[in-house]
């Protein structure tokens, strides 16, 4: 069996907004990661992505099946 087939997926268990565009992600394996989305949102030329620079839109995230989802 290949090593890829043996890998267990890691899911996001919780997410907490800790800044204007930053989230603290806690994973089901116990890892915690801070992610600042502002550089990605600011540099994007796609209007659908740039729309998430609006605080209300960015704050409307949720977790579905271990994935971070907007919209």
Instruction: Return the HEC string of 1-70.
Output: CCHHHHCCCCCEEEEEECCCCEEEEEECCCCEEEEECHHHHHHCCCHHHHHHHCHHHHCCCEEECCEEEC
pLDDT single digits (tens) 43-60: 999 999 999 999 999 999
Query: Residue 39: how many CA atoms within 13 Å on its side-chain side?
Result: 2
For 4-14, the pLDDT digits (tens) are 667 788 999 99
Name 36's Cβ contacts closer than 8 Å, sequence gap at least 6: 19, 21, 22
The model's confidence at residue 71, banded by pLDDT at 50, 70 and 90, is confident
Whether pTM > 0.85 for this model: the answer is: no
Percent of the chain with pLDDT over 70: 92
Q: Going by CATH, does the domain composed of 8-61 fall within 3.30.2020.10?
A: yes
Give the domain ranges of the chain. 8-61
| Whether residue 2 has pLDDT greater than 60 | no
């Amino acid at each position: 069996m290949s090593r890829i087939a043996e890998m267990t997926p890691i899911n996001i268990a919780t997410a907490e907004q800790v800044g204007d565009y930053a989230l603290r992600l806690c994973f089901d394996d116990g890892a915690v990661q801070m992610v600042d989305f502002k550089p990605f949102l600011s540099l994007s030329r796609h209007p659908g992505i740039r729309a998430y620079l609006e605080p209300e839109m960015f704050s409307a995230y949720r977790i579905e099946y271990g994935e971070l989802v907007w919209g």
